[in-house]
Amino acid sequence: MSPDGSVHEAIDAIWHANRGEMARRIATLEEAVCALRSDELDDELRARAICDAHKLAGALGMFDLATGSELSRELEHSLEAAGGPLAGELARLAELVLALRAEFENRMSARQVADLTPSPPPTSKVMP
Amino acid sequence: MTHRRDPSRSHLPSLLIADDDPVICSLLTAQLSRSFDVVASAGDAEQAIALAVEHRPDIAIVDMQMPAGGGLRAAREMHALAPATAIVALSADESDGMVRDVIQAGAIAYVRKGVAAHELMTTLRRSIEAHVLLSSPAPGDPVTIATAGTQL
């Protein structure tokens, strides 16, 4: 296996080991946007959402999910704004979270396809 | 997390990774362990400073937003206590103010969080080359020759 292949395998393994944590971080953002929709976003949830958006922005880019990284960054900045996001930004935040979830699920699907792809059959057989 | 240097990897530059996100630490280790000997990883500023003093790594990647004082504080103290360590700041904040603060704290390069692995490698390579040039003592010094001969 080429050295680059072993790095990709290592990164895939890290994704596999941490996909639950990535999903949890996205769920926090979904929870925050829902709370915002019903005007119930408190300081604790907002702080958790900012922290998780920040961590997603960093990690997703390194998993080659540049779009996911940018979406997370925009969510982080909106949530961080003084006084919190404005009512007019709610639709945009909902779009961002949906798109982020889609990026994550696409990465998950691609990984599952790779896991399910069978090994090629042997190319030779010794006949008695 | 820390480990004793493997003699078979002593030809590689030693690296300290400091980030409060263990996923980032794992990713950086996976991406960089072919070209660097990752000697330690830290989860906060206090740990980063202590490990830099203990290991005197050739290079340290330091997240600018860490608990226990933050990455800027870690960079300043590491620069003061382990001046031979080249500090590369890792941050999601690209503002002019952050970049200026990072350089004033002693970092020799800044990497935006979320960059692809090949961009990170290019920045680290250039950082080491620049650090060697800027800190070169008189010709013939064995430490400088060993560092300059490191291939990435």
Tens digits of per-residue pLDDT, B113-148?
777 767 777 777 777 777 665 555 444 443 333 333
pLDDT for the residue B90: 87
pLDDT for the residue B151: 35
Question: What would the two tokens of residue B30 be?
Answer: 């996976």
**Min CA distance, B30 vs chain A (Å)?**
6
Model confidence at B83, pLDDT cuts 50, 70, 90, reads: very high
pLDDT for the residue A63: 86
Tens digits of per-residue pLDDT, B31-48?
888 888 999 999 999 999
Q: Residue holding tokens 């970092």?
A: B107
B58-97 b/e with 16+ CB inside 10 Å = b?
bbbbbbbbbeeebbbbbbbbbbeebeebbbbbbbbbeeee
Tens digits of per-residue pLDDT, A52-104?
999 998 889 888 888 999 999 999 999 988 667 777 788 999 999 999 999 99
Higher pLDDT, A52 or B8: A52
Residue A23 touches partner B, C-beta closer than 8 Å: no
- Per-residue pLDDT at B87 exceeds 70: yes
DSSP chain A: --HHHHHHHHHHHHHHHHHHHHHHHHHHHHHHHHHHHTT---HHHHHHHHHHHHHHHHHHHHTT-HHHHHHHHHHHHHHHSTT---GGGHHHHHHHHHHHHHHHHHHHHHHHHHHHSPPPPPS-----
Interface contact A62-B92, CB threshold 8 A: no
Interface contact A57-B92, CB threshold 8 A: yes
Identity of the residue in A3, A10, A69 whose CB atom sits nearest the CB atom of B114: A69
pTM recorded for the entire structure = 0.77
Across B48-59, average pLDDT: 95
pLDDT for the residue B145: 31
